Amino acid sequence: AQKITQTQPGMFVQEKEAVTLDCTYDTSDQSYGLFWYKQPSSGEMIFLIYQGSYDEQNATEGRYSLNFQKARKSANLVISASQLGDSAMYFCAMREQGYGGSQGNLIFGKGTKLSVKP
Amino acid sequence: EAGVTQSPTHLIKTRGQQATLRCSPISGHTSVYWYQQALGLGLQFLLWYDEGEERNRGNFPPRFSGRQFPNYSSELNVNALELEDSALYLCASSPAAGYSNQPQHFGDGTRLSIL
């Protein structure tokens, strides 16, 4: 069964510094997608970044980058130049293969609560 | 472009009652997913609908059910409500099957409280 592990329940980072949120995954599929979402205290889930299993380069989206190490089955999120508004829960997720090879539902890790200190 | 919309925002029920939650996907999206986020348990996958059909189901009892309408909107029904059903229920949508790199876009959720 597929599984996502986030080992850091909570993290603190000083404003303007970089922070890495860890994520490891377990799957027997060759083709899979990895996602990071941000959930502020208001509850909405905000998509941040995507990495495909066949992508040769690490994904980047503005201040977010994904450190993808396929052999180690890790997909860590790096947030550069942290801002106070980055304080939130961060979830790593993997997409299961659906019917006929299509996209399927997401399997989520338990999340990391990031607190940015001024 | 309107995002995923869910209604109601909050819902208060008592044990044994039935709850209906609604979701409208982003225009052009045919897949709708339902997730439960109970306190301290992270997000658990409930149901996936695509083109009106149930495609996958998470590890939840049969009293959790739903459907998808021809306009791709969806409804989640929870029968015989129990205290542990209190949670934030999130709906997400994505484009038609085959676009595996497309993220799921989430609504703001329905907070269901069971008294």
Token pair in block for residue A106: 């997401």
Phi-psi region of B40 (alpha: psi -120 to 50; beta: other; left: phi over 0): left
Smallest CA–CA distance from A94 into chain B, residue? B103
**pLDDT at residue number A59:** 94
CA distance A110 to A36: 12
| pLDDT score of B115 | 93
A36 contact B CB<8A? no
Phi, then psi, of A7 in degrees rounded to 5: -90, -5
A 10 A CB-CB count for B105 gives 18
Residue A99: the pLDDT is 59
For the stretch B83-112, pLDDT in tens is 999 999 999 999 876 556 778 999 999 999
Nearest CA in chain B to A31: B100
Give residue A113's pLDDT.
96
- pLDDT tens digits, B15-61: 999 999 999 999 999 999 999 999 877 899 999 998 899 988 999 99
Strand (E) or helix (H) holding B105: strand B105-106
Q: Does A7 contact B at CB distance below 8 Å?
A: no
Q: Check pLDDT > 70 for residue A101.
A: no
Which residues from B are below 8 Å from A109, CB to CB? 42
Closest C-alpha to B74, from B20, B3, B38, B10: B20
* pLDDT at A97 exceeding the cut of 60: yes
Pairing of strands B10-13, B110-114: parallel
Residue A75: pLDDT band with limits 50, 70, 90: very high
Q: How far apart are CA A33 and CA B103, in angstroms?
A: 9
* Chain A contact present for B60, CB below 8 A: no
3-state helix, strand and coil shares in percent for chain B, rounded to the nearest 5: 5, 50, 45
A24-26/A3-5 β-pairing: antiparallel
Candidates B42, B45, B105; nearest CB to A105 = B45
User: Closest chain A residue to B89 measured between Cα atoms?
Assistant: A43
Report the mean per-residue pLDDT for chain A: 91
Please provide the DSSP assignment of A11-79 as one string: EEEETTS-EEE--EEE---SS-EEEEEEE-TT---EEEEEEETT-SS--EETTEEEEEETTTTEEEEEE
Q: Which pLDDT score is estimated for B95?
A: 84
